[in-house]
Amino acid sequence: MKKILSFLVLLAGITSLMSCGEKDATYDGIAPLTITKADVLFSADGGEGSIAASTSAAVKATTDAKWINLSVNGSTVSVKAQPNVSLEARSAKIVLTADDGKTANVTATQHGLLLALNAKDAYIFDMSNNDPAIISDKSNIIFHQEISDDWIHIEKVSEGYSISVDPNESGSFRHGSIKLSFEAAQFTKTINIAQWGVNLPFTSLTKAIYQDEDGNKYQKDITVVADTEKENTYLIKGLMSEGDLSMTYNASNKNMVEYYVSAGYSPGKLIDGETTYTLRCLMSAYNVNTGNRYYPTAVTTQAANAYRMAFEWQVDENAIPVLNYVRNNTLSSTYNTDGIIVCKFSSATGAAAAARKGIAYEFLNLKFTY
């Protein structure tokens, strides 16, 4: 899973000149011109402000900034700022000159645009009506929206944006996207939207991705088929040469679409001379207190499911389904969640440890995807 986007741009260096006196202006010329008011701090939207001078003489006002318009009425200067379509703040010097030769410089400052959109790469919805997903947005701009499918909806709300989807009546998993963009800042954010259907895309999975205990990463091509002899069970072919890995739907867990490998599951056997070894598999976890991992033995049965991990449907940053490992609620808190399947050859029940062939497979951080 890749990471979620949190994009915040606010360029500092803006001088606040709200309601200020002489200390707020710098001076050039023969003698200072007293400034009694300098309201020249503008938002990115622009607006109007003013500068007032304490003098009986008429004043003139000039600036070389094209984004500011000035008009004078006696000793008061009206300042109008045009919208700033840049992310950068900007400033401009305004020069006031009285008829008696006194001068003063006042700096007008304008904020730049603010991009403060905090959106994940992907959002997942179930197949029925859903509560909307709220995206935080404190930007002072309006994004252009492009929506890939008419079952996806986005609405501007006080917190930012609200994303919702229609009930999925097709029965199949579906995904689309929302693209938010702002041309002036060359900003584009694609938000992927996924929605489950009654038909899960289990048999479309083609890859197994995992690590070993040393952190080495591997990928295997797999094929997933339904188990014709066991309801709500799928067989993963290609992960092990001895046989298929069986994944069963956990009907007791109503909070998520969860699958597991039965403790002590045996995908195959190995005959070595006169001894027949059984390959037993278990979804295991690493004990952070003892440094030990629980391994399957000849007597491991489903009763040992306190060590069982599980797999849950998730989506990646592109809203593509991934069957990823999760923690089983019955797992002791001393065990890390590392989604490992351990498979070990052992001889018949009761055989001495020396008669076992040792660890055959270890799949750490295992997930299945396309």
Tens of pLDDT, residues 192-246: 998 887 666 778 889 999 988 788 999 999 999 988 988 888 899 999 888 898 8
Q: Among the listed ranges 174-188, 220-234, 248-262, 330-344, which one has the minimum average pLDDT value?
A: 248-262
Q: How far is CA 365 from CA 211, 247, 279, 360, in A?
A: 6, 16, 21, 17
Q: Decide: 236 and 221 in contact? Cβ < 8 Å.
A: no
Q: Report pLDDT for 148.
A: 96
Q: What angle do CA 65, 140, 124 make, to 5 degrees?
A: 150
**Single pTM value for the model:** 0.56
**Region class of 179: left (phi > 0), else alpha (psi between -120 and 50), else beta:** beta
In the prediction, which pLDDT does 282 show?
Answer: 75
Tell me what the mean pLDDT of segment 26-54 comes to.
82
Question: What band does 295 get if pLDDT is binned at 50, 70 and 90?
Answer: low
In angstroms, rounded to a whole number, what is the distance separating the alpha carbons of residues 157 and 92?
35
Q: Would you say residue 349 has pLDDT above 60?
A: no
**Residue scoring higher pLDDT (150 or 182):** 150
Residue type at 191? Answer: I
Mean pLDDT in residue range 153-160: 93
Q: Residue length, the chain? A: 370
pLDDT, residue 355, reads: 46
126 has a pLDDT exceeding 80: yes
Looking at residue 350, its pLDDT comes to 45
**pLDDT at 186 (0 to 100):** 80
Residues forming CATH 2.60.40.10 domain(s) in the chain: 7-110
Q: Which two structure tokens, joined as six digits, stand for 197?
A: 């259907």
Which of 17-21, 81-85, 117-121, 342-346 has the weakest average pLDDT? 17-21
Indicate whether 85 pLDDT > 90. Answer: no
Q: How many CA atoms lie within 13 A of 353 on its CB side?
A: 3
Q: What percent of the chain has pLDDT over 70?
A: 78
Point out the least confidently predicted range of 20-29, 78-87, 257-266.
20-29
pLDDT in tens, 304-315: 444 566 788 888
pLDDT for residue 304? 43
Distances in Å between the alpha carbon of 176 and those of 48, 128, 129, 152, 190? 44, 17, 17, 8, 10
Look at the block and give the residue holding tokens 């001068």.
103
Instruction: Decide if 258 contacts 252 (C-beta within 8 A).
Output: no
Point out the least confidently predicted range of 6-10, 143-147, 156-160. 6-10
Residue with the larger pLDDT of the pair 122 and 250? 122
Higher-pLDDT residue of 354, 364? 364
Statement: residue 137 has pLDDT above 80: yes
Backbone angles phi, psi at 324, to 5 degrees: -115, 155
Please determine, for residue 284, whether its predicted confidence score (pLDDT) is greater than 90: no
> According to the per-residue pLDDT averaged within each range, which of 29-43, 45-59, 67-81 is highest?
67-81
CATH class of the domain whose range is 7-110:
mainly beta
Give the span between the Cα atoms of 176 and 5, in whole angstroms.
Answer: 18
What value does the mean pLDDT take over residues 75-81? 95
Per-residue pLDDT at 365? 85
Banded model confidence at residue 352, pLDDT cuts 50, 70, 90: very low
Tokens of 352: 């001495």
pLDDT of 131 above 80 = yes
Class of domain 125-195 as given by CATH: mainly beta
What's the chain's average pLDDT? Answer: 79
Given this model, what pLDDT does residue 251 score?
65
Coil, strand, or helix at residue 305?
helix
Percent of the chain past pLDDT 90, that is, above it, reads: 32
